[in-house]
Amino acid sequence: MPFIPSTALLALMRRLAALPSAPSSNTRQIGPAGIALVKRFEGCARLRTDGLIEAYPDPGTGAEPWTIGWGATGRDYFSGGMIGPGTRWTQAQCDTRLAADLARYAAEVAAALCSAPTTQNQFDAMVSFHYNTGAIARATLTQKHIAGDNAGAAREFARWNRAGGRVMKGLVRRRAAEAELYLA
């Protein structure tokens, strides 16, 4: 595994800590089942022969947003700029970004749910959903969960199965797995 110099790692940690939506230390965290679900459906694709992982275009659109590692999109906190063609990361960088992204998405889910009773499995399923869609604040799924309609909330996962305007088999499978975890 490539070595990340300590100064570069410290600089990255400072940048991640300075993100506007960085979670506080008392924010609820995604559990092992949720992390496994995200990793199962995101994969860490595009491993090159030199051991680096490269970005690829969105499967639904064939273009933006470019994705790397465990589903990271947007800003490239390691090299600056945006993730796009030519972005390459080490496995350690992919894992570091996943941890930071999951913490941020978990904080956003916790904020959206307020004090609604939520099991760890429900929380994990909703973080996976939000990680993939970015829609926790506007989804009917969230409203039904807050209202205590768990069966209705579980049915809502299936509605989020499209990318680029068409139903994607991978999203159908992911939403079914999220609903299953939510109800477990």
Answer whether residue 162 is part of any domain.
Answer: yes
DSSP states of 93-119 = HHHHHHHHHHHHHHHHHHHHHTT----
State the residue for tokens 């088999």. 169
DSSP states of 154-173 = HHHGGG--EETTEE-HHHHH
Answer whether residue 69 is part of any domain.
Answer: no
State the residue for tokens 């869609």. 133
pLDDT tier for residue 14 given thresholds of 50, 70 and 90: low
For residue 90, is pLDDT > 60? yes
Range of the domain at 10: 6-42+93-183
**Structural domain count, the chain:** 1
Answer whether residue 15 is part of any domain.
Answer: yes
Residues of the chain with pLDDT > 90, as a percent, come to 77
Q: What is the pTM of this model?
A: 0.84
Report the pLDDT value the prediction gives residue 15, as an integer from 0 to 100. 53
Report the pLDDT value the prediction gives residue 180, as an integer from 0 to 100. 98
Give residue-wise pLDDT tens across range 119-141.
Answer: 999 999 999 999 999 999 999 99
Report the pLDDT value the prediction gives residue 3, as an integer from 0 to 100. 44
User: What residues are annotated to the active site?
Assistant: 42
Report the pLDDT value the prediction gives residue 163, as an integer from 0 to 100. 85
Q: Which amino acid is at 55?
A: A
Give residue-wise pLDDT tens across range 38-82.
Answer: 999 998 888 999 999 999 998 778 888 999 999 999 999 999 999
Answer whether residue 145 is part of any domain.
Answer: yes
The CATH number covering residue 104 comes to 1.10.530.40
Q: Which two tokens stand for residue 161?
A: 């199965």
